[in-house]
């Protein structure tokens, strides 16, 4: 079964602290994984995808096929990072399968 | 930068009524999608559309739902006879390559 799991509904950290948002997946085949972010009152927007191996706004995510994980990390959280973060898997038919989402709250 | 647009932003309807949610995908995109998110739950795939036909649909997408691309720009989702459980945020998305671009969503409330 194709599934994405984000175990934390809410992650609350202080500004400057490291952040790790967890994502595990279940997929038979080569997965394409994404992190989408939704800031307050805004649309879902792509943050990063594992294929490009880039760092966006200081965030990185590494695909670990052995652990079937794609955790999102940032060494020093900023207040403007507060948002809802969704991990998503692209199936071979193109549809996205989303996790439940994690609300990141960065306190001053 | 081009964006996916959706109208209306909010819609309130009575149970049993028909609703049409509208989307304008990014102009050179080829694949179109509808997703929904019931309050407090995950974003769920409803249907994908390519080359003027449905390419995949989920179990949620039953006979009450239909999609159409009536002209070169609009992509619509119709719910024929709304139920209370259809209350959700409905997102349209489009893509040309690997990345799907989402619209701002339509919040549908069925009373």
Chain A positions touching chain B (beta carbons under 8 Å): 32, 34, 36, 42-46, 49, 51, 86, 90, 93-101
Which phi-psi region, left, alpha or beta, contains residue B58 (left: φ > 0; alpha: ψ -120 to 50)?
beta
Q: H/E element holding A12?
A: strand A10-14
- Going by the DSSP 8-state scheme, the letter that residue A64 receives in this structure is B
> How many CB pairs lie under 8 A apart between chains A and B?
52
What confidence tens digit (pLDDT) does each residue in A1-16 have? 889 999 999 999 999 9
Q: What angle do CA A8, B94, A72 make, to 5 degrees?
A: 25
User: Is the Cβ pair B48, A86 closer than 8 Å?
Assistant: no
Q: Among all residues of chain A, which has the CA nearest to that of B100?
A: A46
What confidence tens digit (pLDDT) does each residue in A38-48 have? 998 889 999 99
Q: How far is B37 from chain A (nearest CA, A)?
A: 10
Q: How far is B108 from chain A (nearest CA, A)?
A: 16
Query: Tokens in use for A84?
Result: 């809802």
Q: Which one has a higher pLDDT value, B79 or A49?
A: B79
Name the β-bridge partners of B69.
none
Q: What angle do CA B59, A39, A3 make, to 5 degrees?
A: 30
Name the β-bridge partners of B42.
none
What confidence tens digit (pLDDT) does each residue in B32-67 have? 999 999 998 999 999 999 988 999 999 999 999 999
Cα–Cα separations (whole angstroms), residue A77 to A50, A105, B32, B78:
21, 10, 34, 42
Q: How far is A16 from chain B (nearest CA, A)?
A: 29
């Amino acid at each position: 079964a194709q599934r994405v799991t984000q175990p934390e509904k809410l992650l609350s950290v202080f500004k400057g602290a490291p952040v790790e948002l967890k994502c595990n997946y279940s997929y038979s085949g080569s997965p394409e994984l994404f992190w989408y972010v939704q800031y307050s009152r805004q649309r879902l927007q792509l943050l990063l995808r594992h294929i490009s191996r880039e760092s966006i706004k200081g965030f990185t995510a590494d695909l670990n096929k052995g652990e079937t994980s794609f955790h999102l990390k940032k060494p020093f959280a900023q207040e403007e990072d507060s948002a809802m973060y969704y991990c998503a898997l692209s199936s071979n038919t193109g549809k996205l399968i989303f996790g439940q989402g994690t609300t990141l709250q960065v306190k001053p | 930068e081009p964006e996916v647009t959706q109208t209306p932003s909010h819609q309130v309807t009575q149970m049993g009524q028909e609703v049409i949610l509208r989307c304008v995908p990014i102009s050179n995109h080829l694949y179109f999608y509808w997703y929904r998110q019931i309050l407090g739950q995950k974003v769920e795939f409803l249907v994908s559309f390519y080359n003027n036909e449905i390419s995949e649909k989920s179990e949620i997408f039953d006979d009450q739902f239909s999609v159409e691309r009536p002209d070169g720009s609009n992509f619509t989702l119709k719910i024929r006879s709304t139920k209370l459980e259809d209350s959700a945020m409905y997102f349209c998305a489009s893509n040309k390559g690997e990345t799907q671009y989402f619209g701002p969503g339509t919040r549908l409330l069925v009373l």
